[in-house]
Amino acid sequence: MSFESEYFKRSAADKEKLAEYGFVKRNGEFFYSALFHENTFSAEVRVNEKGEVSGKIIDLETGDEYFAFRSQSRTGEFVGMIREEYGEILKGIKDNCFVPVPFLLDQSNRIARCIYETYGEQPDYPFKKLSDYGVFRHESNSKWYGLIMNIPKSKITKLKKDENITAEIINIKVDPQKLEKLLDEEGIYPCYHMNKGNWVSVVLDETLPDKKVMELIDESRNLTAGRKNTMGSKEVGKWIVPANPKYYDIESEFKDGGNYLWKQGKGIKKGDIVYIYVGAPISAIRYRCKVTETDIPYQYTDDKLKILYAMRIDVIKSFEKNLCDREKMKSFGVKTVRGPRYMPAEMEDYLIQQSEK
């Protein structure tokens, strides 16, 4: 598998978004180039008619293609920087121009997209022999709250006529006190291959509307959050939220402090603390803010962003760009920030202590 295909597996190109992002169409294919590493290298990315992605890196000083980053045996600091910066370019393309298609059925893929848009979490695939079984888990504690799998429908309906029908289901956790009532609903069954006392299987065949499925997933996520991450109504929540400088000049806007309307993340409440991670090329935690108001109706939609409710945040502190960059964040277990996620206590302590020196 190529370096590029690792970034784009289980996803499909949206050709309209490719054009909007800056790709140029030639003979049915799309081409994109971007300078990086202080404008000494050029990334050349191609998306063919089938949506397959390939690319190359050009060393602008020599005009030659740079191959070293593709060899896993090359582990030097320089080649590592080139890999990471090229990877950031590919990630930006995927996040803005590709849609996830991790599963077989339309509803399964819609639900996966809803989970990503709501919680910033994408499925992983821990079963080697069942590579299309996707697990949704909390970024903060790795606990499962959903498992999508495809099975013969007869496994859950117990009907012979369903033996040759493939069903895609999601296993989700429920309140045991609600179990009996839920099992009376069409499309919800005793859980397949998991604890039937507090988990159910929901068939993703359009029997239940997406809204209902997401309500069940939201409850499952709350039930599996764990004591450490369950924010009581009086407890101050600590969050990390992303900002993309390609679409919003946050560095200019926030330089003098002040208060701002911001897209409201699920679970964030008045009084919580929000740490803003500014994406590439900065790629660091830059601001500490306090949430002063939530649930502000705010209708906004474009091809990159949809806002239904906003919150108001006060900027109370800024951090140096090199204080908590991506490498430092990884040391605290924070590998990605695709949506609101909990701030690890150790990382917050580090930020506060280091910024006071």
Please indicate, yes or no, if residue 233 is contained in any of the structural domains.
Answer: no
Is a pLDDT exceeding 90 seen at residue 276?
yes
Q: How far apart are CA 276 and CA 242, in angstroms?
A: 6
Encode pLDDT of 163-178 as tens digits: 999 999 999 999 999 9
Residue 240's SS3 state is strand
Residue 98's SS3 state is strand
Calculate mean pLDDT across residues 142-157.
94
| Per-residue confidence (pLDDT) for residue 305, from 0 to 100 | 67
Q: Which of 228, 260, 292 is the last residue before a domain boundary?
A: 228
Full residue range of the structural domain in which residue 59 is found: 3-100
Residues 287 and 179 in one domain: no
Residues 22 and 41 in one domain: yes
Q: How far apart are CA 112 and CA 107, in angstroms?
A: 9
How much is the CA Rg of the chain, to the nearest whole Å?
22
Q: How far apart are CA 282 and CA 39, in angstroms?
A: 16
Q: Which residues pair with 281 in a beta bridge?
A: none
| Per-residue confidence (pLDDT) for residue 357, from 0 to 100 | 66
Q: Which of 228, 255, 277 is the last residue before a domain boundary?
A: 228
Q: Which of 174, 195, 228 is the last residue before a domain boundary?
A: 228
Q: Provide the whole-model pTM.
A: 0.53
Beta carbons within 8 Å of 233's beta carbon, 6+ residues apart: 269
Please indicate, yes or no, if residue 26 is contained in any of the structural domains.
Answer: yes
DSSP string covering 300-333: EE-SS-EEEEEEEEEEEEE--TTTSBHHHHHHTT
Q: How far apart are CA 125 and CA 110, in angstroms?
A: 18
Please indicate, yes or no, if residue 250 is contained in any of the structural domains.
Answer: yes
Confidence of residue 303 (pLDDT cuts 50, 70, 90): low
Residue 57's SS3 state is strand
- Ranges 1-10, 59-68, 310-319: which has the least confidence: 1-10
What's 177's domain CATH number? 3.90.1150.30
The tally of domains found in the chain comes to: 3
Residues 115 and 219 in one domain: yes
Among 327, 338, 277, smallest CA distance to 96 is for 338
